[in-house]
Amino acid sequence: MAGSVTRRRGIIAEINVTPLVDIMLVLLIIFMLTAHLIAKQAIEVELPRASNATTLKPTTIAVTLTSDGKLYLNDKSVTPAELRTQVAAAVAKDAKTQVVISGDKAVSHGRVVWVLDLVKSLGVTSFAIQIDPSNVSAPP
């Protein structure tokens, strides 16, 4: 038995990460190769061209909140009930209606959130709060 080497096998206390890295690289390659198939969800159609084509722009509504508490819809003074009915009518005509909310900086946050909640409840999914980027300063 002079030629036999005996090794004592104990508990392996370290983690071999090489197989894990190999599996992750294979998965990464698979995802990279199949991502373009997943991203194409629409049916590809080559549309005919026209010289007098027009694009339809979504309806945009401007809601303004003044510092004295008045509410305006497209530069016309309205009550909250009129705002609700006119926005609902605009959404009924065009489902992609957009709302731009302009609020004086003295208007309470709750009032602006109320307008946001109102237009969202009427079906508006695209809205923005207008700001003046030229005069950005920290509030007092």
- pTM here is 0.55
Domains of the chain: 60-131 (3.30.420.270)
Q: How far apart are CA 140 and CA 134, in angstroms?
A: 17
pLDDT value, residue 42? 54
Q: Write the pLDDT tens digit of every residue in 96-119.
A: 888 888 888 788 888 888 888 988
Closest CA to 69 of 129, 101, 111: 111
pLDDT value, residue 25? 95
Give 3's pLDDT tier (boundaries 50, 70, 90): low
Compute the average pLDDT of residues 6-28. Answer: 84
Instruction: Tell me how many degrees the CA angle 26-31-35 measures, rounded to the nearest 5.
Output: 160
